[in-house]
């Protein structure tokens, strides 16, 4: 069954921002759960991912090899850019967007995980030390690199800090607490939602 773990809440942002029947592409769609959700709300949603399951709305390919799939009113991407060939992927996305089409990204700056985060995770049943985290994520683009690449190709319309650790420990109901602690500076804010429009 499709998991909404990483895009729950982000779907509402997209549904608020886009008019019904908008054509939207989910880059790095994984199991296609977000595509399914957007389509259920009347959007013409399509996903692309080399690891996508067989489904009429999903294209099993890297986005940079799927440039003949037409143009989109919006592109979204959840936790995928940090894995990708950033320059090529963002250039492809810019080409796939109709004029004034928007790119919506949900990502994390994994380099922000620190001792405060590790202590909070440990207090909530997790056990990821800073050293383990860095070893696990070290081969991914940092959030700073992803944001810099976005800044090269897109003009930023919004950038919002988001909670992350609550989902990581499987307790999404703790997001409000995490958000409060982020605002107090007691936890790092390292996940983010971005919206931008391709530079002309």
Ligand X SMILES: C[S@@+](CC[C@H](N)C(=O)[O-])C[C@H]1O[C@@H](n2cnc3c(N)ncnc32)[C@H](O)[C@@H]1O
Contacting positions for ligand X (CB under 6 A)? 6-7, 27-30, 48-51, 62-64, 78-80, 83-84, 89
Classify each residue of 40-66 as buried b or exposed e, where b means 16 or more C-beta atoms within 10 Å of its C-beta: eeebebbbbbeebeeeebbbeebbbeb
Cβ proximity to ligand X, 39 vs 116, nearer residue: 39
Sheet containing 23-27, strands listed edge to edge, beginning at the edge strand earlier in sequence: 58-59, 44-48, 23-27, 72-78, 97-108, 191-198, 154-162
Cβ proximity to ligand X, 48 vs 169, nearer residue: 48
Cβ proximity to ligand X, 113 vs 181, nearer residue: 113
For residues 29 and 48, the answer to whether their CB atoms sit within 8 Å is: yes
For residues 27 and 63, the answer to whether their CB atoms sit within 8 Å is: yes
Task: Give min distance, CB of 178 to ligand X, in A.
Answer: 19
Cβ proximity to ligand X, 116 vs 140, nearer residue: 140
């Amino acid at each position: 069954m499709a998991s909404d773990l990483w895009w729950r809440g982000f779907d509402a942002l997209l549904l608020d921002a886009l008019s019904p029947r908008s054509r939207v592409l989910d880059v790095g769609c994984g199991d296609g759960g977000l595509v399914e959700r957007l389509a259920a709300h009347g959007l013409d949603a399509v996903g692309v991912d080399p690891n996508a399951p067989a489904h009429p709305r999903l294209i099993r390919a890297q986005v940079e090899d799927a440039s003949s799939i037409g143009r989109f009113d919006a592109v979204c991407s959840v936790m995928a850019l940090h894995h990708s060939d950033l320059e090529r992927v963002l250039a492809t996305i810019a080409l796939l967007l109709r004029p004034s089409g928007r790119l919506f990204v949900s990502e994390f700056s994994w380099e922000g995980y620190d001792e405060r985060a590790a202590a909070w995770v440990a207090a909530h049943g997790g056990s990821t030390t800073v050293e383990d985290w860095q070893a696990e994520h070290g081969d991914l683009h940092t959030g700073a690199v992803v944001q810099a690449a976005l800044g090269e190709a897109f003009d930023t319309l919004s950038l919002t800090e988001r909670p992350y650790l609550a989902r990581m420990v499987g307790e999404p109901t703790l997001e409000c607490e995490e958000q409060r602690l982020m605002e107090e500076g007691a936890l790092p804010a390292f996940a983010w939602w971005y919206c931008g429009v391709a530079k002309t």
